[in-house]
Each structure stands twice: as structure tokens, then as C-alpha cells.
A and B are shown apart, each in its own frame.
Chain A
């Protein structure tokens, strides 16, 4: 069984603050993928990143960075210098690698960035 936990239901920050969204997962699979998706008010889920379970390198993309720690089963997402346009629901998700199986989503974190 797989499970993804996003303990932060809602986070509110002021523009230009840094914010970290937490994601903890459980899986019995030895190889798997982790993802982050952004869902703005328009409703479309936007793919942000995929991380393979055997690649623990952290990744930075502009203001976004991801910290994958297999030892603690965590895949946290940090937004640096947040902007109002970052306001959205962010979902962390998990799937076994090499299969067309469903994504196991966390419950999502609603991020509100105030001007």
C-alpha cells in the first residue's frame, strides 16, 4: 500500500517570503517516482517535477527547489521569494516506476501568497 501525507492543509505567507511544503510518503516498492503538481484556481494540474527513487540529488529550478531524503521518506518543496502567482494548491504524489498505475496523491497544501 502507498500513502502520501501532506500535513500542512493551508499555508499563508507574505510575498517575498520563502515557504516550504512538506511531503512524507510510504511505499513498499523498491523503485518509485515522486512528483509535485500545482493546481491554480483555474483547476488544471500542472506538472512541476519528477524524482526517481534512486536519485537523491536535490534539484533547483529558478525559485523552486526540492529536497528528497529517502532516509526520512520525505520530498519537500521550497519556493524562494514567493509571489502572488504562486498561490495554488500543491499536490505531492507517488507511483511505482515502470507501470501505468495510478498516482497516489497527498491531500494537497493550499498556499496563499499575500501581496
Chain B
């Protein structure tokens, strides 16, 4: 089945220790998104790639970076995680302007 895959599902990192979350898709969608979702809140868009074009949201901290080496893969790098970065991170894909399909998410814990 075509899908969006996120690894790992659970990630524990130490305060200040860089961490990378990964996302892959078999849907061949040209747009990939990263969202941050904290408890009892709606997902918040961090950035998205339209093909190779990177689009950062204005309020996304510099601590968050992303890479998309090819159509199928996209990575979220958190350079120096703080306690406030503990959240669920959701990857999504779409064709332009239509519904987004989400992966299962990676729950990040910062100790």
C-alpha cells in the first residue's frame, strides 16, 4: 500500500543533542510537510517542500532545519533540542492544493 512512513515512532534525546527524524513516502507526491503538534493542540506547520523548493514558515525557529534529498525522503533536523521541543512531529505529503496524507508521527521526548 502506498503510504507515508516515519521513523522512529518514538525518539528520546538529551537537551542540546542534535536529533534527526525521517519521513518517506511511496505516494510520489511532490509536496512534503513537517508539522509539530503539542498536546491538545492542532498541528502547526514548520515548513514544506514543493519539489525541491523549501518553504519555511515565518515563525519556525532556526533550530529546526529540513532536507529533502529526493522525492521520497524528507528529514527534520533539530540542532539543539530544548525541553519545549518535546512534541509529536508529523510528516505529510500531497499533490498541490489537495488533501494531505499524514504519517503516524514521531513522538519526541527531550530529557
A: which residues have CB within 8 A of B?
33, 35, 37, 42-47, 50, 91, 95-103, 105-108
CA gap between A32 and B107 in the complex, in Å:
31
Q: Is the CB–CB distance between A47 and B101 below 8 Å?
A: yes
Q: Is the CB–CB distance between B42 and A105 below 8 Å?
A: yes
Number of interchain pairs (Cβ within 8 Å) = 59
Task: Among A96, A98, A103, A107, point to the contact of B100 (Cβ < 8 A).
Answer: A103
Q: Indicate whether A45 sits within 8 Å of B43 (C-beta atoms), given known contacts A100-B94, A102-B33.
A: yes
Q: Is the CB–CB distance between A44 and B103 below 8 Å?
A: yes
CA gap between A107 and B31 in the complex, in Å:
24
Query: Per DSSP, are chain A's interface residues mostly helix, strand or loop, or mixed?
Result: loop
Q: Is the CB–CB distance between B57 and A102 below 8 Å?
A: yes
Which residue of the partner chain A has the closest CB to B50? A100
Which residue of the partner chain B has the closest CB to A4? B42
Number of chain B residues close to chain A: CB under 8 A: 27
On chain B, the residues within 8 Å of A103 by CB distance are 43, 45, 100
The answer, yes or no, to whether B62 is at the interface (CB within 8 Å) is no
Task: Among A46, A97, A102, A106, point to the contact of B45 (Cβ < 8 A).
Answer: A102
On chain B, the residues within 8 Å of A44 by CB distance are 102-105
Q: Indicate whether A45 sits within 8 Å of B102 (C-beta atoms), given known contacts A100-B48, A107-B41, A108-B42.
A: yes
CA gap between A42 and B9 in the complex, in Å:
10
On chain B, the residues within 8 Å of A37 by CB distance are 102
CB distance from B89 to the nearest CB of A (A): 10
On chain B, the residues within 8 Å of A96 by CB distance are 97
Q: Is the CB–CB distance between B97 and A97 below 8 Å?
A: yes
The answer, yes or no, to whether B90 is at the interface (CB within 8 Å) is yes
Q: Is the CB–CB distance between B107 and A50 below 8 Å?
A: no
